[in-house]
Every structure is written in C-alpha cells, then in structure tokens.
Structure 1
Amino acid sequence: MTLDIAALRAHFPALLTGTAHFDGPGGTQTPTVVGAAIADTLTRPLSIRGSGTRSETNAEVAVGEFRAAMADLLGAHPRGVVYGRSATQLTYDFSRHLARTWRPGDEVVVSRLDHDSNIRPWVQAAASVGATVRWIEFDPDTTEIDDASVAAAITERTKLVAITAASNLLGTKPPVRRIADAAHAVGALVYVDGVHYTAHAAVDVTALGADFFACSPYKFLGPHCGVLVADPELLESLQPDKLLPSTNEVPERFEFGTLPYEIMAGATAAVDFLAAIAPGAATDRRTRLLASAHVVEEHELAMRSRIETGLTDLGNAVTLHSKAQDRTPTLLVTFPGRSSTDAYRFLVDRNILAPAGSFYAYEAFRRLELEDTAALRIGVAPYTDDDDADRLVDALREFVAS
C-alpha cells in the first residue's frame, strides 16, 4: 500500500500555514482528532477516578484506554504502562528507583550516541551510590556503534545498560537486541530510550530485549507527555518513594498525583490515528499499527532518499554526517566554512523549519568534533511530501550559492 499523503496532510491544520516542517525529531505537528480528544475529555463531566458517577467513570476510562493504546503500540502489557510528564522525568525517576540496589563497585553502562536524558540520570545515580560508569562508543566516521566497545563495557559487574534505539541526532539505530543479550547474559537490566525510534518504526519491546522502554507521544503526533513500559512483574519489584495514602498498585505506584486525563486521551487518539493510516481487514489495533508503521516507514525513507540525492548534488558545500546503514529518516548536516545557524535562519525566511543545534545529544555532538557549534537537523515525518523535500533542497542550494 502507498501512503495517500494528500489525505494524511488534510488532518493537520498547522500545515495550512505553508511551513515545511522538518522539525519532527523535536516534536511533530498534531492532527485534529488529537486536539478534539483533549478538548472533549476536558469539557465533558470529569473528576477523580472512580465508578460512582459519570464524571468518575470518564476519568477511569481515559486512563484505561491510554494504557491499552500504549500497550498495543509498543507490544507491552497494559499493567506495565507508566505515564510521565516526559521521558526525561521518567528516566530520572527510574534511575533513582533502580539505584537503590546498586553498591560501590557496581557498574552502569551508557552510550555516547544517546540523548543526554538517557545518560546524565544514570551517571548521576551511579555517582550517588559510588557505582562506576562505563561507556559504549561510536565511530564518528560511520556513526555506527563500536562492537568492541560494547564487549569491553559490559562486564560481570554491570547492573544496567542504557542505550538508545535510535539516535535523535544522527538517526543511527544501534544493535539494541545484541547489546541487550550481552547485558542479560551477565544479569544486567536494559533501559532503552525509544523516543526517536518510536516515531519511525514498529516497536516490539520484547523483540528489542528491553526491560524498560521510554517514549514520548509528542514525537508521534500526540500531546506532550512521556510513557514507560516494562513487565508488570519487574515493576512490582521496585519500591519508589510515595505518599502514604497513595496506592501501591502497579503501575500507579510510579505515577504521582492526579493524572492529566485529557493528555492521556489525546495520546490514545494519536495511537488510533496511526492505526488508521493503513486501513485493512484487521480488527485488532496492534495488527493495524504494524501495517501502518510499514507504510509510513516506506514513505519516510523515500522522502529521506529524495533529500539525500538533492544534498549530494550540492557537492562539497554540504557535509552529511548521518551515515549508518540502519537509520531513521533524520539527517544531520553542516556547511564547511559556513554557519549552520545561518542556514537555519535562511530557511526560516523561506518558511522552512529545520533547526540547528546539538539537540541535547551532548556526548554525540562532541564525539563528532565538528568545526561548527551547531548542525542542521532535517527530520522527515509522516506528513512530509515531495514539495516539502524539494523546497528544502532548493533553499539549501540557494544558501550555499549565496
């Protein structure tokens, strides 16, 4: 099946401004149904969860539907779905929960490829208990994970390995399952940052070997929030600090205070929207989500190829740093002798949004040793079309010629 891009774009009012959005890795635009779900939940009867009144039931249903939707999207169990304000907040929380069992001499493994939100919480948690941090490196020339570095980093003392499923800076998809198998062989847990990955792939947390998997619905057409999934039995083994009257049920024991039912409803609507992209005979949402993910991935890779071809035509005026064999439709580029920030501003003047920066991937950006203090990140989303791609390439051609 081929994605009907015109029909898909019609669901996004933000696209009517004419802006060509290549800022999806920082947050996608939102379809009308997501905004409607948020508004409907807020304006109909709503109160603290319960079963005695319609308002209580509405809140209960919003939470239950959210957990079911995220479980279908990620291949998880609804009782293993934890809501959070952001993936960063969830990672900080769980780094503290897990560090309770660490001791001096224990080791925690992190990756130079990761967003800082899957590095600094673990580094700081390790420091708080006297644990050692070991690093998985990547080759800046190929932007691939160094297998020898993985083998050296994971030892009998390893308690946890934190790894991204896809780099938000370069798009690289590291061999998560191989890394997870190595970690599990020594009894370590694996925490996977799936924030960038979930927007561009069919997720199966079991197939990945992830003990914990975090993502952010606002990266895949939903509202701003975070989600963490894990086996309910694993969550049962963790005891977070909490208020005395708060429930000790899983996953609620990890969710502090009253939940934002309207945001949860919006995230559910985003999952339903994704499931409808490739309509078919399947009745279960998980199957429809997998079919839609395949269609979206084909479209996004076609858009990536179109842009890469255009960048190649610009010759030495543009340097493409995203080179991994297996990667998302995200391109990091710089302009020898020119400022990437100037390129960003040049594009903005032409109603094209492709931001410049290091995008919180501090270690990865430093590892690349770029002469520029920023780099231009071009992110393809499901609603990117040929016109967007051509406008971008034409504008960059004009920039390098200026």
Structure 2
Amino acid sequence: MSTLSVQQLRADFPALQETKDRKPFIYFDGPGGTQMAQQAVDAMVGYITSGMANLHGAFETSVKTDRLLEDGRKAVADLLNCTPQEVAFGQNMTSLAFSIARSLGPFITASDEVVVTELDHRANVDPWVTLAKDKGAPVTFIPVNPDTYTLELDKLHELITENTKLVAVGLSSNVTGTVTDIARIIARAKEVNALVVVDAVHAVPHLSLDFKDLGCDVLLCSAYKFFGPHVGIAVIAASLFEKLPVYKLQPAPQEIPDKLETGTQNHEAIAGLIGAISFIENLGEGATRRERLQSGMQRIEAHEQELSDRIEAFLKRVPEVRLYRAPEGTPKTPTFAFTLDNINAREASAWFAERYNMNIADGHFYASTMAEKLGVNPMGGWIRIGLAPYNTLEEVELFEQGLQAFLSEHSSQ
C-alpha cells in the first residue's frame, strides 16, 4: 500500500491556506470537527448554483434532488457497509439519537433496563437516559476505569442482564481516543436480545467500519467530523427500521428510510457529504468504491498513527503533563487529552491560539460523566489535541516547541 501524500492532500483543504499575521492556522481540533475538503465544498456549491428544489416533483431540479438523496445513501452504504435503505439523514447525530429514542418508546417498559457508559459523549447517553426516565426504567452505567480510561467489562454479565433492552456505547472516545471492545459488548447484548446503539461519530474519521460485521442495530455519525458539512447520519438495521414507529406528519412517507427524515432535508449538505466521501475514496485504490474507501481509510490510519506515536512519546516525557491515555495494546484514535500542573486548560489553549494560530480545544467535550469522575473540571477540563490526515510532522514539532515554551514562560511568572 502506497503512503499518503500529505502535501498533495493538504491542497484539497481551502482552510489550510488561511493565515493570520502571516502565519498559517494549524488545526488540531479535528475531534470537534475537521476542515472541509474541496470536493465537499464543490459539491455543495454545485447543487446550490445549478438549481435547487424539493423532492418528488416532475421537473428537472426536483428529479435531481431525488437522485441526490439516493446517491447520498449509496455513498454512505459504501463507506459503512450497509444497505442504502438503512441510511437516514438528519440535523446532527444528537437530534437523530433523540428522535430514535422517542420512537423506541413502545419497546421499553418500566421492568426493562437501559445500559449506557461513563466514557461516552452525552449525545449517546442522554437520549437513552431520557427514554428510560419517561418509561420509569432503570439505567445502568458501564464504568470507566480511572487508571486505564477504558470501560470495565469484566462484569459485563452483571451489567447487561436478561432485563436489558437497550445498550448504547461509543466506538471511540472523543476525549481519550480509547477504542472500545464493542464486539464483546454487542455479543453480550445479543445474548439477552437487547438493542445496541453505537456512537461512531469520533471513529468514522479514523477507522474503516463495517456495519454488517459490527452487528449493532443503530450506528450514528456526523459528516462534519470527516471532512464534510454539518449533517447527521443514522444507519438503522432494516429489521428494526421497518417496525420503528416515528413521530411524523400524516401524509409523509411510511417506508424506510424516508419515514425518519421529517421535513425537508439539508440537500446541499447531503451533496457535500457525497463530496467528502469522494475525497476519502480518491485516497485509495480498488475495483469498487467500497474497496477504495477502505484503502483510503487505511492510508489515513497509517499517517495518523505515525504522528500519534510521536505526540504520545513527547507528552509522556513532559513532567508537568498528565496524559489521559489508555495503556499500550489498547486501540486508540489519534486524540490526546491531558492536563498541566496548576494550569487552567483555557489558559493553555488561548496561549497556543494567540502565539501559534494553533487550534487546540479545552473543556469536558460533553464527556461530562468521565470529566466529573476524573476530577478535571476544576482546572477547566482537559486540553485536547486531535489529529486529522492533513496534519504534518512539522506541525507536531511546532506543538512540542510551543508546549515547552509555554511551560517555561509559566514557570517564570
């Protein structure tokens, strides 16, 4: 497999050409949203400027929009290995999760149990907790180990019981990067016939995924995390989707996947989604789009892993850094959360933005349960640096120099 040409890839991102005070911006905020690929921009502009319309008309622009949604579903199906009929679009992952949770109401009773995790973003916690509360059902949290930043799965049989009806788990933490052994969780859930919802928002930009192989019932992600615009994606197994009652207008379509898509969709964003997937496809090789997408993702993984190893080794060498990183041998995405001794996280991120035009985020990142458990809120949460395929070794080296300069400056105050 040939390696990724990062400089050639960077040419596909208009935002990378932006400067301030003659210095380029450095985007280490990929976990909060990547920059948009030119292919996505062009697709959005192309749809908008060539004539927009709503669906189901006899005229050309409406037919074009119908075809756009079909093409969008096919592109997602090739990216995630599902069927186009299992793909639904929405405002964002959170809105889709709440919509699906509400529609699952008839399947949950007060005698059932809902299982979520302490590691997850609250977007994959609160929709299901709200559902349980509405039904009077108990909620169980799979705990996060405060030393390894992984889920404690040794007592999975006690956490997921015969009464469990729904399990929601994130594939990868948007804070620590921990990739959870969801195959083990899904296997246990299926033993008790529980539905499984997987939050793959943070995973899709870094890992090649296979919905059929995972065996979950619902998978959620967002295009703005993988080089596209703000549009949410839900993949729902047809066997569940067909019988899923949804809140919708009376004359709206009853068939899948349209029945979950209430109101007019963001057609230009769906066009951009297709463009973003095309960007990934162009990085790979193969006879089919699915093969090219897998190959492209493998190249992204290889490049990001090289930079990830460099950053992890550096952060572990800095005495003032506490790195929240799972042990060696645990799969992880190139996302690093750390704190600095006696320094507020916002002070550090603001310093990097001012001195280096470097976009480094701070806060709890909506993984608020873990943030509370690990006690990081008094210091402003974590400092988070996350990689994308457009990041370079030179940018990583500049971060290393910057952190050392910041700590030196702070110690002299």
TM (norm. structure 2) is 0.95
Equivalent of 2:175, from 169, 177, 202?
Answer: 169
Distance in 1, Cα, partners of 2:69 & 2:48: 13
- What does 1:250-261 correspond to in 2, within 5 Å? 250-261=256-267
Structure 2 equivalent of residue 397 of structure 1: 404
Confirm or deny: 8 A CA contact 2:223 2:230 kept in the other structure. yes
Structure 2 equivalent of residue 301 of structure 1: 305
**In the TM superposition, what is the alpha-carbon distance from 1:375 to its structure 2 partner?**
1.0
**In the TM superposition, what is the alpha-carbon distance from 1:241 to its structure 2 partner?**
1.8
Q: Does 1:319 align with 2:322?
A: yes
Structure 2 equivalent of residue 286 of structure 1: 290
- What does 1:19-168 correspond to in 2, within 5 Å? 19-50=25-56, 52-168=58-174
Confirm or deny: 8 A CA contact 2:218 2:236 kept in the other structure. yes
Q: Does 1:335 align with 2:340?
A: yes
**In the TM superposition, what is the alpha-carbon distance from 1:245 to its structure 2 partner?**
1.0
Structure 1 equivalent of residue 361 of structure 2: 355
Instruction: Give the secondary-structure state (helix, strand or coil) at the position aligned to 2:252.
Output: coil
Task: Describe the superposition over 1:247-305 as per-residue Cα deviations: whole angstroms up to 9, x where unpaired.
Answer: 10101000011122111110011001101112x3x231111011111110010011111
**In the TM superposition, what is the alpha-carbon distance from 1:56 to its structure 2 partner?**
1.4
Task: Describe the superposition over 1:359-399 as per-residue Cα deviations: whole angstroms up to 9, x where unpaired.
Answer: 11111211222352321011000101011111111101111
Structure 2 equivalent of residue 376 of structure 1: 383
Task: Describe the superposition over 1:153-188 as per-residue Cα deviations: whole angstroms up to 9, x where unpaired.
Answer: 100000000000001111111110110010000010
**In the TM superposition, what is the alpha-carbon distance from 1:149 to its structure 2 partner?**
4.0
- What does 1:166-315 correspond to in 2, within 5 Å? 166-278=172-284, 280=285, 282-314=286-318
2:401 maps to amino acid = D
Distance in 1, Cα, partners of 2:325 & 2:405: 22
Structure 2 equivalent of residue 8 of structure 1: 9
**In the TM superposition, what is the alpha-carbon distance from 1:51 to its structure 2 partner?**
5.9
Distance in 2, Cα, partners of 1:246 & 1:174: 38
Confirm or deny: 8 A CA contact 1:22 1:352 kept in the other structure. yes
Instruction: Give the secondary-structure state (helix, strand or coil) at the position aligned to 2:350.
Output: helix
State which drifts further: 348-357 or 47-56: 47-56
RMSD, aligned α-carbons: 1.1
Task: Describe the superposition over 1:206-262 as per-residue Cα deviations: whole angstroms up to 9, x where unpaired.
Answer: 222211000001000000010000222320111112111111010100001112211
Distance in 1, Cα, partners of 2:226 & 2:62: 29
Confirm or deny: 8 A CA contact 1:5 1:383 kept in the other structure. yes
Distance in 2, Cα, partners of 1:172 & 1:261: 34
**In the TM superposition, what is the alpha-carbon distance from 1:48 to its structure 2 partner?**
2.1
2:43 maps to amino acid = A
Distance in 2, Cα, partners of 1:16 & 1:149: 50
Distance in 1, Cα, partners of 2:247 & 2:184: 33
Percent of residue pairs identical: 35
State which drifts further: 1-10 or 319-328: 319-328
Equivalent of 2:393, from 386, 391, 395?
Answer: 386
**In the TM superposition, what is the alpha-carbon distance from 1:52 to its structure 2 partner?**
2.2
Distance in 2, Cα, partners of 1:99 & 1:388: 48
Confirm or deny: 8 A CA contact 1:137 1:149 kept in the other structure. no
Instruction: Give the secondary-structure state (helix, strand or coil) at the position aligned to 1:100.
Output: helix
Confirm or deny: 8 A CA contact 1:45 1:58 kept in the other structure. no
Distance in 2, Cα, partners of 1:39 & 1:330: 32
2:325 maps to amino acid = S
State which drifts further: 41-50 or 186-195: 41-50
Distance in 2, Cα, partners of 1:258 & 1:67: 16
Distance in 1, Cα, partners of 2:287 & 2:55: 29
TM (norm. structure 1) is 0.97
Confirm or deny: 8 A CA contact 1:74 1:205 kept in the other structure. yes
- For structure 2, the 5+ residue unaligned runs are 19-23
1:167 maps to amino acid = S
Distance in 2, Cα, partners of 1:168 & 1:326: 13
